[in-house]
Structure 1
Amino acid sequence: MTANRGLALFRFFFAAMCLAAVVGQFAYNVQSIPNYRPLNFFSFFTVESNFIATAALGIAGWFAWKGESPRWLELLRGAATMYMTVTGITYSLLLSNIEVDTAVPWINVVLHYTMPTVLVIDWLVDLPKARVSLRESLTWLAFPLLYLVYSLIRGPFADWYPYPFLDPRAEGYGNVAIMSVLIAVVAFVLAVVIALSTRLQNAGPHPASAPPPRLNLPL
């Protein structure tokens, strides 16, 4: 595999942009909100998924620069793509008119719109050389599940929930359960779609599997 410096620079640029957006929003909150609780900021799925995206792009950029693509990195990129797509879809459908700790306009655009788009483009441009199995892709669901458990356990103690659809104080745990199942279904479908997309990379027969050419030797 040859080095792809253009792809590496693309990844470095957006990894830096994403990190700058997250750090900039955190600094803004600390300075502008009295008695701000930093742990709340890091308890947003948006923030956590963007950190994962930053790491995935930065590491993938380094390996692209060297012309390498280890299997664990391909799986990390797939997970980051799924998390960021969930972030973009959830924000667009449920949270676009609600304050979710991203009051700075350009930061809001970067974290909720730009980065989900970038991760999808990066995935499609550089699909894994080997297919991702459905079983492998389903392991990506572990993080959203752990996030849900963490949010619901921490909520009563902190008297704070990151998103309205995770807050049982308004409409009870039944509504939380319904919304959680719907988002889980979206995440499941995305995991399957991302895994199936890796078949595009291998649509044609691999050179090693092609039958050897027939030689027409004179009799």
Structure 2
Amino acid sequence: MWKIIVFGWLRLGLGVLAAVALGFQAHRAAGYGALGNYFSYFTILSNAAGSVVLLLGGAAVLRGRPSPVPDAVRGAVTVYLAITGAVYQLLLAHLPGQDVIPWVNTVTHQVMPLAAVAYWLADPPRTRTGLRTAAGWLAFPLAYLGYSLLRGPLVDWYPYPFVDPREPGGYGHVAGQCAGVTAGFLLAVALIAWLGNVRGAQVRRRLTDGQPLSKI
């Protein structure tokens, strides 16, 4: 029982930490009059979703109830945060001129991606994630890409270099970079779905064998 309580408070704490981090960065963006751009970062959107999932999940655990967030939604958010962390480390970490509060950067690009994956493994989906559900996780990233490309010319601003046609190579550069990121998303979707299915099967086997839920 104490493990369940600890996990519940841990989820709440991480959810609050992410919300506070996003609030601090939003305050800075508001000072620059750039809230529209702030909320156009995939990092911000994925972390906001992750914060809500953790807060709702933590509160539900402490109340002895299942999370109100469907497993399909939680899996999608896990993918988005995992990609947020991976893309930052591979493509963005060493770029100059990033106006991000250092501790906020750590929370949004390292702590939250790791927390999301850990949550998915510690509390796997109750039923197997099918191909159709996993494929649906790609809908939001594709919509976000379209939004970024359409909004960019209107405000002369792009959230990331790999969606910026003003970079050398123009739209050819964007197409190549986005193809690479899309491949990363496909890999993340497949991996997160597979890990959830493996862990979910393990949990269901233990329950079938009569092991207490608190030991899982």
Shorter-chain TM-score: which interval?
0.7 to 0.9
* CA distance in structure 1 between the partners assigned to 2:204 and 2:19 by the alignment: 40
The residue type paired with residue 182 of structure 2 is A
Q: Distance in 2 between matches of 1:150 and 1:101?
A: 22
1:4 match: secondary structure: helix
Residue 97 of structure 1 aligns to a residue in which SS? coil
For structure 1, the residue ranges without an aligned partner over 5 or more in a row are 211-219
Q: Secondary structure at the match of 2:129?
A: coil
Q: Give 1:155's aligned amino acid.
A: G
Aligned counterparts, 1:20-169, within 5 A = 20-31=20-31, 33=32, 36-69=33-66, 72-98=69-95, 102-169=99-166
Relative to the length of structure 2, the TM-score reads: 0.87
2:78 & 2:104 partners in 1: Cα distance? 19
1:6 aligns with 2:6: yes
Taking every aligned residue pair, what percent have the same amino acid on both sides? 34
**RMSD over equivalenced CA pairs, Å:** 2.4
More divergent stretch after superposition (45-54 vs 181-190):
181-190
What's the CA shift for 1:90?
Answer: 0.4
Aligned to 2:138, the other structure's residue is in SS state: helix
Q: Separation in 1 of the partners of 2:45 and 2:170?
A: 26
Q: Measure the CA separation in 1 of the matches of 2:206 and 2:25.
A: 49
Aligned residue type for 1:117: L
How many residue pairs get aligned? The number is 207
Preserved CA contact (<8 Å) 2:76 2:137: yes
Which protein has the larger Cα radius of gyration, Structure 1 or Structure 2? 1
1:102/1:108 contact within 8 Å kept: no
With over 3 angstroms needed to count, the CA separation of the structure-2 counterparts of 1:204 and 1:156, relative to structure 1, is: closer
Q: How far 1:177 sits from its partner (Å)?
A: 1.0
> Is the CA contact 1:56–1:73 (under 8 Å) kept in the aligned structure 2?
no
Q: Quick check: 2:53–2:69 contact (8 Å CA) kept in 1?
A: no
- 2:89 and 2:4 map into 1 onto residues whose CA distance is 33
Q: Deviations over 1:110-158 (max 9, x none)?
A: 1111110111111111112221112211111101000000000000001
| Structure-2 residue corresponding to 1:195 | 193
1:15 is matched with 15
Structure 1 Cα separation of the partners of residues 64 and 129 of structure 2: 20
- Normalised by the length of structure 1, the TM-score is 0.86
Tell me if the contact between 1:18 and 1:50 (Cα under 8 Å) persists in the aligned partners.
Answer: yes
| Deviations, residues 61-117 of structure 1 (Å, cap 9, x unaligned) | 122223333685222211111000100000001100225755211111111111101
Unaligned runs of at least 5 residues, structure 2: 210-216
Is contact 1:152–1:166 with CA below 8 Å preserved after alignment? yes
Q: Is the 8 A contact 1:44 1:162 kept in 2?
A: yes
Cα distance between partner residues in 1 of 2:207 and 2:22: 46
Moved more, 154-163 or 68-77: 68-77
Q: Secondary structure at the match of 2:175?
A: helix
Q: What's the secondary structure of 1:30's corresponding residue?
A: helix
Give the aligned partner of residue 213 of structure 1. none
Q: Helix, strand or coil for the counterpart of 1:169?
A: coil
